[in-house]
A and B are shown apart, each in its own frame.
Chain A
Amino acid sequence: DGGITQSPKYLFRKEGQNVTLSCEQNLNHDAMYWYRQDPGQGLRLIYYSQIVNDFQKGDIAEGYSVSREKKESFPLTVTSAQKNPTAFYLCASSMVGRAIKLSGNTIYFGEGSWLTVV
């Protein structure tokens, strides 16, 4: 079955260390997104990509980096420059263009990753 897979579910980061969260989808979606969620808060957009080899900064990109070398994959690296990385991270993918107007349920989320600084 098609879907979107995030890993790992739980991750611990030491001070000064970079860590990478994986996001893979086999839905043939063009657009992919990374969000951060802090307790009791909404989803804040970190980075997004609407096509391979292209991505844009979201609202809170500082301290994060991404790549989009393949359509299926959109990994997120939390760098040591991100001073407060402890949060719940969600990856999502979506159809774009005309397809999004035909059916609303076009955004698929991964199960999320919990990142904690130790």
Chain B
Amino acid sequence: GQNIDQPTEMTATEGAIVQINCTYQTSGFNGLFWYQQHAGEAPTFLSYNVLDGLEEKGRFSSFLSRSKGYSYLLLKELQMKDSASYLCAVVRSNDYKLSFGAGTTVTVRA
């Protein structure tokens, strides 16, 4: 099976930085995704990591350590519109099972 853990909630101030951690256990790792989701909508793709290291895309960065089963999503220069749920997802290599964590609700305060 796949176990994916991430914090339930985080709160931060506008303009600040927030780091959302994700730990996972899976048989046959084939990549880790981060998605943003607003209530009642489909998730929106943020980043994908398959090799160790940091991937940077504007205000969002994602890091992966395969040996530790660990990833984080870094949100910089927080804006009010960044208030959303952030989902970590892992795909398994043998059967492409794609499993999601329970999501982290980020609230950005003025």
Name A's B-contacting residues (CB within 8 A).
31, 33, 35, 40-45, 48, 50, 56, 58-59, 88, 90, 92, 94, 96, 100-101, 103-107, 109-112, 114
9-residue interface stretch from B10-18, B75-83, B100-108: B100-108
Within 8 A of A (CB), among B1-53: 1, 30-31, 33, 40-43, 45, 47-50
Given the known inter-chain contacts A104-B48, A105-B48, please indicate yes or no for A43 contacting B100, CB distance below 8 A. Answer: yes
Q: By the criterion CB–CB under 8 Å, are B103 and A112 in contact?
A: no
Task: State the Cβ distance, B11 to closest chain A Cβ, in Å.
Answer: 16
Q: By the criterion CB–CB under 8 Å, are A110 and B42 in contact?
A: yes
Task: State the Cβ distance, B30 to closest chain A Cβ, in Å.
Answer: 7
Q: By the criterion CB–CB under 8 Å, are A50 and B95 in contact?
A: yes
Chain B residues with CB under 8 A of A107: 33, 45, 98
